[in-house]
Amino acid sequence: MKYTLMHKNVAVADIEIDETLGGVTKIRNITAKEHLPVGTIRIQRDDEVVDRYAFNQWWTGRSIPASRMGVSDALETLGIYNTKLLLTKCLGLSLSDHYWIKPYNKNILWEDVNFFDNDFSDDIGDVLFGMNGKNADFDFVSPDNTSDGNLQKRWKIIDGKRCLLKSGSTPFIQQPFNEVIATLIMNKLGIEHVPYTIIWIDNKPYSVCEDFVTKDTELISAWRVLQLRQKENHESSYLHYVNICKELGIDIAPALDRMIVLDYIIANEDRHFNNFGLLRDANTLEWIGAAPIFDSGTSLWYDTSARGISTYDIPCKPFKKKHSEQLRMVSSFDWLDISKLNGIEDEILNILCEDNAVQYVEAERAKAIAAEVRKRIDTLEIIAASHDSYDVSSNGGDVEEVNAASYD
């Protein structure tokens, strides 16, 4: 079927979508090249052309990943065999950016359909959460069709605000508590972040955060930013990102310093290139700066039993495979006041041992986690004290890197 790709009210291109497979088969009549999704243009014989493969990746990447917890049950309930087929049912609208598709020649405005202003159905969220609701006549108009990530999640309007509810994973369902702990640490250290709280539904914890994207600013993931140009041979993946940001007018190193330090403290295992990014003004296309830090839950030994909780060999992303090596990429610790974290171990224990939480996290694990965090903060203090500030451009790729190509 034919659609116009829209960015708010700007018509960007005419596209054709195969309604049986969900892919984009044709892209033509580009009317606003500068509004095309970031990283979908390539140079061909000195000319800029839309890269159909990259465009398709961008479009299908808007759909719920097949790896999402519980997605096959949800699809069965909905009678749909592929999450890509959910995209057209909500016009591709999202609460993280401002792209959508308008049926060709239909007269619809962004104001009529966007989820920032307009209510949306709970049906898809209910199904994704395995809640007993309908089993037919679903209203598919929901931003849940365009949500990314592996954990079960749904958007809900709470007190008029668009909020993302996110579960944890078995066996400890710990990620929601981790989000709250990361919030606490970032509050204390003055790091720009998305604040998370906990909500209990049917005796299960979910993290809740407000939409940090607004009607005028949108999230562009670091992964998409990296698609703007190929990595030069002399660039590490860190420098690739830093240099592109510089080309866009953003000095990103201070934000990366803070992210790397946070991830070191909480032993984050999953800061892949779609778990951070930039904010862009959707109207002027002006780059604003780093997005506030979100999605820090896959951390704090979330899936490890008490005996395994130690600083040994924790996976690290996105720039290095080891946290100790990634920490060496920090350009300045001048902003870091470690004393702000005095007593944090007791506050972590309080969060993990809270009445309801303890049934999932267990006191023995909570104590081990709090003690390990304290150790990591002590090590961080020593490293920060002995750190000579150095030029970001010296942040080369001497140590084995995580392969950025695996995060599309």
Ligand X SMILES: Nc1ncnc2c1ncn2[C@@H]1O[C@H](COP(=O)(O)OP(=O)(O)OP(=O)(O)O)[C@@H](O)[C@H]1O
Per CB under 6 A, residues contacting ligand X are: 95-96, 147-151, 153, 164, 166, 194, 209, 211-213, 219, 270, 274-275, 294-295, 297-298
User: Which residue, 14 or 263, is less far from ligand X as judged by CB?
Assistant: 263
Yes or no: say if 172 and 303 are a contact pair by the CB < 8 Å rule.
yes
User: Which residue, 270 or 345, is less far from ligand X as judged by CB?
Assistant: 270
Q: Write down the least CB distance from residue 212 to Mg ion, Å.
A: 13
Q: Write down the least CB distance from residue 29 to Mg ion, Å.
A: 34
Q: How far apart are CA 205 and CA 90, in angstroms?
A: 28
User: Which residue, 170 or 230, is less far from ligand X as judged by CB?
Assistant: 170
Give 357's Cβ-side CA count (13 Å radius).
24
Q: Write down the least CB distance from residue 218 to ligand X, Å.
A: 9
Q: Write down the least CB distance from residue 103 to ligand X, Å.
A: 25
User: Which residue, 65 or 103, is less far from ligand X as judged by CB?
Assistant: 65
Query: Which phi and psi angles does 48 have, rounded to 5°?
Result: -85, 125
User: Which residue, 166 or 280, is less far from ligand X as judged by CB?
Assistant: 166
Contacted entry of Mg ion, ligand X, none for residue 292, CB cut-off 5 to 8 Å set by kind: none
Q: How far apart are CA 263 and CA 311, in angstroms?
A: 13
**What does the block give as tokens for 180?**
């709250």
Contacts of 271 (CB under 8 A, 6+ apart): 259, 263, 296, 316, 317, 318
Q: How far apart are CA 299 and CA 302, in angstroms?
A: 6
- Does the footprint of Mg ion cover residue 149 (CB under 5 A)? yes
Cis peptide before 171 (omega within 30 of 0): yes
User: Which residue, 3 or 155, is less far from ligand X as judged by CB?
Assistant: 155
**DSSP label at residue 269:** S
Q: Scanning residues 26 to 55, which ones bind Mg ion (CB under 5 A)?
A: none
CB atoms within 10 A of CB 174: 28
Contacted entry of ligand X, Mg ion, none for residue 147, CB cut-off 5 to 8 Å set by kind: ligand X
Task: Indicate the length of the chain as a whole number.
Answer: 408
- Does the footprint of Mg ion cover residue 295 (CB under 5 A)? yes
Q: Write down the least CB distance from residue 20 to ligand X, Å.
A: 27
Residues that bind Mg ion (CB under 5 A): 149, 275, 295
